[in-house]
Chains A and B, each alone.
Chain A
Amino acid sequence: MMEKLIFGRYIPGHSFIHKLDPRSKLMGAIWFIIIIFLANNWLTYLALTVFVLTAVKLSEINPKFFINGVKPLIWLILFTVILQILFTSGQTIWFRLGPVVISQEGMLNGVFIFMRFVLIIFMSTILTLTTMPLSLTDAIEFLLRPLNAVKVPVHEIALMLSIALRFVPTLMDETEKIMNAQRARGIDFGEGNIYQQMKSIVPLLIPLFVSSFNRAEELATAMEARGYKGGEGRTKYRQLAWENRDTIVMIAFGLLSVGLFLLRT
């Protein structure tokens, strides 16, 4: 069951990208998704592609994983691309049939959208494959910290996030156990029509909820017994270290953004 999850698909390694601070990786990935919308011609897309492929190369991860990342979304991508191709009108029209128009501009738009999708997926795959979920929560906590000023409980959000991540495998195990226990009592999961399938989920969902409540209570008691009284006055065991390579990556992103601005039409 665990293999299907995107979280925890971390692949250990010692590449340049692996060693980066999770903050620079997270900021980079988010920034990339923003600047990709600047691109609107061949040259800009070429620059983005070269940038992403360099990152893929630097991560030293088997390209197969990136292709696998695109696979589940391929139908969605193709659907969007085809819609773009069929319904964009332009000056150089190649084919017309009622509302359906295939133009040179439409064709080009379709290709660009395809590239946009693939590049975003590649970039986020680099982030999730080279960063431990744990480091990601650390990075999120750090990046959210300014929100403290507007009374957002950043420490609580980060704690919830890290507890949630820590309990994912535990709850998966429990789900599996309850499913097997209910199967042993004669419940068929995934059989019959939609109504029957939904009904068979109930004997799984309710025990899972009840046990989560019990877990939460026990965990809260254990935390309190260990002196947890909120975010104030706490020190941190984990520390993120910003190094030169992180600055280099940020500069690279900066140059890419400037380049896109200059090259776009």
Chain B
Amino acid sequence: MSEIINVENVTYRYDDEDQRAALQDVSFSVTKGEWVAIIGPNGSGKSTLAKTINGLIEPDNGDVTVGGLALNEKNVWSIREMVGMVFQNPDNQFVGSTVQDDVAFGLENLGIPREEMIERVRDALDKVNMLEYAEREPARLSGGQKQRVAIAGIVALRPAIMILDEATSMLDPQGREEVLRTVKEVKEQENLSVLSITHDIDEAAAANRVLVMRDGQMIQEGTPESIFSYGEKLIEMGLDLPFPERLKASLKKQGIDVPQDYLTEEGMVDWLWTYVSKK
């Protein structure tokens, strides 16, 4: 599989005076069509890392390559065409005066002809199920709907990579689920690579691979299953415990011998009924 993002030994300091670098010697790569989640406590450098990928931040040291192009002054706009970013606050990234204007904003920037723009806007809004809201103004949308419009704005650009920078953190559980489902569907349809930065356990569980950051360093890497098997240590990593882990911890307190490996909800149900029937 081909690598679409490659970050090598990236170091970045917001302020030269700073003792601690926001990113210290970070290296990782994402292959095409992969969903990678980056987790870590606040201030661990996750968002900074996301911004280095589309050139919003220029690293002090190290190389970033996106889709075969090295990130530099010359390539930055071509790279931004490949990378779509959805940010945290749905209100502050809504540029257009109506839903369709906002989706069209990125296309206007690229100088796409109007006929194609109309078609792409419709198509993108249809993909996120917001077509009937095309004429609405942002003030009349819910947070989840605004985030879906932000996703549509990215989908319309047909990027190869979508970065979600805590895109679900300001939403209620329903809106969060809605947005994640939308991203999953779009990812399958368009074979996108997704890089999601999150504190949300479900979002991390949906990923193919999880990277853990702390104090600007990449400290762990693995499948969600292997990361979730850290149990209690997950809280230090800035994540919540998944429900099966919480159940296991409570059972352990009752003196029940539980398996060490991470179990999904179905796995937990299987284990529970075998355990009960053996008794």
Contacts and interface: CB of A to CB of B under 8 A. Distances in A.
B101 interface: yes
Interface of B: 51, 54, 56, 77, 80-81, 83-85, 87, 89, 91-98, 100-101, 104-114, 117-118, 121, 137-139, 153-154, 157
A226 B153 contact: yes
A83 B166 CA distance: 63
B114 A235 contact: yes
Contacts of A222: 85, 87, 92-93, 95
A238 B85 CA distance: 24
A235 B111 contact: yes
Contacts of B100: 237
29 contacts: A133-B97, A166-B95, A169-B137, A169-B138, A215-B92, A219-B92, A219-B93, A221-B51, A222-B87, A222-B93, A223-B105, A224-B80, A225-B80, A225-B84, A226-B84, A226-B105, A226-B153, A227-B106, A227-B110, A235-B107, A235-B111, A235-B112, A235-B114, A236-B108, A237-B101, A237-B108, A237-B118, A238-B101, A239-B114
A170 interface: yes
Given A235-B113, A237-B104, A238-B101, A229 B77 contact: yes
B92 A234 contact: no
A182 B98 CA distance: 32
A214 B92 CA distance: 9
Give the interface SS of chain A, mostly helix, strand, loop or mixed: helix
Contacts of B80: 224-227
A223 B128 CA distance: 21
A133 B97 CA distance: 10
B127 to A, nearest CB: 17
B277 to A, nearest CB: 54
Contacts of B97: 133-134, 162, 165-166
Nearest to A172: B139
B183 to A, nearest CB: 17
Given A227-B110, A229-B77, A235-B112, A134 B98 contact: yes
Nearest to B153: A226
A156 interface: no
Given A134-B98, A237-B121, 5 more contacts: A134-B101, A221-B87, A222-B93, A233-B111, A237-B100
A226 B152 CA distance: 12
A237 B153 CA distance: 13
B89 to A, nearest CB: 6
A219 B117 CA distance: 22
Contacts of A188: none
